[in-house]
């Protein structure tokens, strides 16, 4: 019978996230994460097998956490809420926001681990389904305009602030709202 793990998967991923937020994904080595936790490097390899697997798992966890609120807003018929989810989430989760907005998936994992292939293949399915369902319920809404208003504009609006290592200011919400209202027709009364 093996020993009980001292550090769980989320603790390891949180340490990798903190290092990535402080110094970029290149600094998030197995040794650096182990040192941050006060763990043996071998224990991390026992849990993840490779640095690529650890960082890819972090990426998937972060994407899924972000996407939940976005998809929920669209399911409720709230395109503006979906668009505003990005700056609000980045304020509540600055390290995760920076991970998603500032670092491409390819920067984190040199080789995407085969064991996560299915996760990667289905990662954006919930968001795509939410966008499709929203557009289907609102015949006057063009899907490309919906994506531009709820994905592209918010992403661009927060990126500059996250690059400067500061949260998006409230003005960003006003500007995203204005863009969303200009791009999408109001819901039918």
pLDDT tens track for 135-172: 999 988 999 999 999 999 999 999 999 989 899 999 99
CB within 8 A of 5, min separation 6: which ones?
Answer: 43, 47
3-state SS of 51-113? HHHHHHHHHHHHHHHHHHHHHHHHHCCCHHHHHHHHHHHHHHCHHHHHHHHHCCHHHHCCCCC
Computed over every residue of the chain, the mean pLDDT equals 89
Q: What spatial distance separates the first Cα and last Cα of the chain, rounded to whole Å?
A: 64
Phi-psi region of 38 (alpha: psi -120 to 50; beta: other; left: phi over 0): left
CB atoms within 10 A of CB 168: 23
pLDDT tens track for 30-82: 999 999 999 999 989 989 999 989 998 999 999 999 999 999 999 999 999 99
- Does any domain span residue 20? no
- Does any domain span residue 12? no
- Does any domain span residue 35? no
CA distance 182 to 26: 40
- Does any domain span residue 19? no
- The parent domain of residue 118 ranges over 59-183
Residue 9, pLDDT > 60, answer yes
- Does any domain span residue 189? no
Q: How many domains does the chain have?
A: 1
- Does any domain span residue 40? no
Residue 100 binned pLDDT confidence (cut-offs 50, 70, 90): confident
């Amino acid at each position: 019978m093996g020993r009980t793990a001292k550090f769980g998967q989320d603790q390891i991923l949180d340490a990798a996230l903190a290092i990535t937020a402080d110094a970029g994904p290149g600094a998030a080595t197995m040794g650096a994460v182990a040192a941050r936790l006060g763990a043996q490097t071998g224990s991390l390899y026992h849990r993840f097998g490779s640095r690529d697997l650890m960082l890819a798992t972090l990426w998937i966890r972060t994407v899924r956490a972000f996407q939940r609120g976005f998809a929920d807003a669209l399911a409720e018929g709230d395109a503006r809420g979906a668009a505003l989810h990005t700056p609000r989430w980045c304020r509540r989760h600055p390290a995760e926001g920076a991970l998603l907005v500032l670092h491409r998936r390819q920067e984190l994992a040199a080789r995407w681990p085969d064991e996560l292939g299915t996760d990667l293949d289905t990662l954006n399915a919930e968001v795509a389904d939410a966008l499709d369902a929203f557009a289907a319920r609102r015949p006057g809404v063009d899907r490309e305009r919906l994506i531009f208003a709820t994905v592209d504009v918010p992403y661009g609006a927060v990126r500059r602030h996250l690059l400067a290592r500061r949260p998006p200011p409230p003005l960003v919400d006003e500007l995203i709202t204005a863009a969303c209202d200009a791009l999408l027709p109001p819901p039918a009364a």
